[in-house]
Amino acid sequence: MSMTIRSFIAINITETLRAEFSEIISVLKKSGSDMKWVRPENLHLTLKFLGNVEIQKLEAIKTGLKNALSGNTSFDISFEGIGCFPNFRKPRVIWIGIKAAPDLQNIYRDVENALFPLGIDKEKRSFSPHLTLGRFNSTKRLQVLTDIMTPFRDKKFGAMRVNKISLMKSELLKEGARYSVIAEFDSDP
């Protein structure tokens, strides 16, 4: 039996943004709604969820990503607005929107193209960059939560420069997921 690692490719956010989003989660928690909130240290922008990957495949993934991402220059992304997938009436996820530079779409495409030859299927849905704050267990106290979210719906939160992409490991523990960096790929300075 081959060993696998649950992994994904992400852009990790700055400590400043982490603190800001952590504040927002604290405010939203006051609704008493039935949510599983993302722990502040786990907040990130997922580029691609890989699922369980065989350990021996990791080297090929690292090489593929390194080749695909070298030559990309760093770029800025900004965070604005808050919303729900698929919508506010039947929400499953609360997210912070990411105003995507074309560069982000390009990086996403490069990642997809680099992994495809390794047997990792391309995403069927179109890429809609976001930062997940929490997932709904039920719609209990949904109205209260939606009211609290209203002032944040169009709020501009801040921006950051993206100069590295991370291959992350996800361990599912009793107390929730724990993420750690397997490898980082820097863009050219």
- Active-site residue numbers? 44, 130
* Structure-token pair, residue 71: 């030559």
What number of other Cβ atoms are within 10 A of residue 106's Cβ?
12
- The answer to whether the beta carbons of residues 168 and 44 sit under 8 Å apart is yes
At 98, the amino acid letter reads: I
Distance between CA atoms of 118 and 159, rounded to whole angstroms? 33
Centroid of chain to Cα 52: 17
